[in-house]
Amino acid sequence: MLALSHHPFLRHLPPSSASSSLPSLPPPHCIKRFSVVRASMDQPAAASPVMGFPHLPPSHRDLMVDLLSTIEARLGPHLLPSAVPSNVLSFQGQGGASQGALDIRSGGQDSSVDFILESWLHCNVPSGSLNITTIFAFLKASTDAPHLLMEFIQGSPTSLILFMDLLPRKDLVLHPDYLDEFYQNTNLDRPRQELENVPQVLPYRSSSLYIRSVLSPTAVAVQINCGAEGESAMEEIMQVQLDSVAKEILRIWLDKCARSMKQLGETERADLLSRDTLIKNKTVEIDLAANLPRLFGPDVANRVVEAIQKAYRI
């Protein structure tokens, strides 16, 4: 939920234009809460409140389920139960043309995780359907390890904007050892290089200078356009290249960052908290508060934003 404004339609949608003006769709699929850990390789993955991903193509849905299942298997025992209200776990705009699901789980006392946000949004727009899926994992100031961002913005069956990154929490020029520890020594730039070698993949430059300043030098920020090659080409890229790249970035974050604990000085912890709070506030200000009302109407948008602010403690 960092990049709603990256869909061209949203940049031109007038304020307060709610989804009630769009054609009606059936209500969201029923989403039930149960564990996401796979009992065995022969059994299907179970689902969290957002695990249904009812509007995604099969390969995209499978990738998101695998990513969330991996996070749950590694970090689930150290996360608190969700406190997100049921009308935020699943929500829709008037008439059901815009639908979404969101869950946030905070880390327990023994965890370096501040919170993990997982969500999907589906909106009918004049140019077609917009699907946004997000995994956003924030760490506490008990470590200086990077946060995790994964966001897929699919504006059509043949096009996708993708952000995947370990968001740095220190100035990489002032702290070259930090650059080495989390980016150089982990070969984090290799997944980006592999993905950008795919012919249909081009680098993507966000229109927001703020978002570009938050990302690391190894960030995957790309646009995939399969054009006349069609949906089958996008499915193949999702199954092969994107699946591999996303899982490798998640593996690095889980192995190197998610369970990290460090002895940090009081000033260093204060600096981390200040930087993290700024990022949380900007996420809400420039993206969610600005765009959700235009898709879901003010009442639903306010409810979702309030739940996020509560989890962010801002």
Structure confidence at residue 176 (pLDDT) = 97
**Helix ranges, the chain (H):** 8-12, 58-75, 86-89, 176-179, 189-196, 209-214, 230-237, 243-256, 266-283, 289-296, 298-312
Class of domain 55-312: alpha beta
Structure confidence at residue 166 (pLDDT) = 98
| DSSP SS3 for 276 | helix
- Assigned token pair, 97: 């043309």
**How confident is the model over 65-69, as a mean pLDDT?**
96
**How confident is the model over 51-57, as a mean pLDDT?**
90
pLDDT in tens, 98-145: 999 999 999 999 999 999 999 999 998 877 789 999 999 999 999 999
Other CB atoms within 10 A of residue 80 CB = 13
Structure confidence at residue 13 (pLDDT) = 53
275 Cβ contact list (under 8 Å, min separation 6): 169
* Cα separation values, 80 from 84, 116, 150, Å: 11, 10, 22
* 115: β partners: 106, 138
Q: Give whichever of 3-12, 32-41, 276-285 has the largest mean pLDDT.
A: 276-285
Query: Long-range pairs for 30-33 at CB < 8 Å and ≥24 separation?
Result: 31/89, 31/90, 31/101, 33/82, 33/89
Cα dihedral 273/277/279/280 (nearest 10): 130
Residue 9 pLDDT > 70: no
Q: Which residues of 40-53 are buried (b: 16+ CB within 10 A; e: fewer)?
A: eeeeebbbbbbbbb
pTM here?
Answer: 0.87
Q: Which of 11-25, 149-163, 230-244 has the lowest mean pLDDT?
A: 11-25
Average of per-residue pLDDT values in the chain? 85
| DSSP SS3 for 272 | helix
Structure confidence at residue 11 (pLDDT) = 54
Q: 24 and 92 in contact (C-beta within 8 Å)?
A: no
Structure confidence at residue 31 (pLDDT) = 33
Find how far residue 211's CA is from the centre of its chain. Answer: 14
Q: Which of 306, 283, 247 is nearest to 84 (CA)?
A: 306
Structure confidence at residue 124 (pLDDT) = 86
Which is more confidently placed, 216 or 126? 216
* Cα separation values, 97 from 77, 94, 121, 288, Å: 36, 7, 11, 18
**How confident is the model over 292-306, as a mean pLDDT?**
93
| DSSP SS3 for 29 | coil
Q: Which of 120-124, 257-261, 287-291 has the lowest mean pLDDT?
A: 287-291
138 Cβ contact list (under 8 Å, min separation 6): 113, 114, 115, 116, 117, 147, 276, 280
Residue 21 pLDDT > 60: no
Q: 204 and 211 in contact (C-beta within 8 Å)?
A: no
Domain boundaries, the chain: 55-312
**How confident is the model over 90-96, as a mean pLDDT?**
88
Structure confidence at residue 262 (pLDDT) = 87
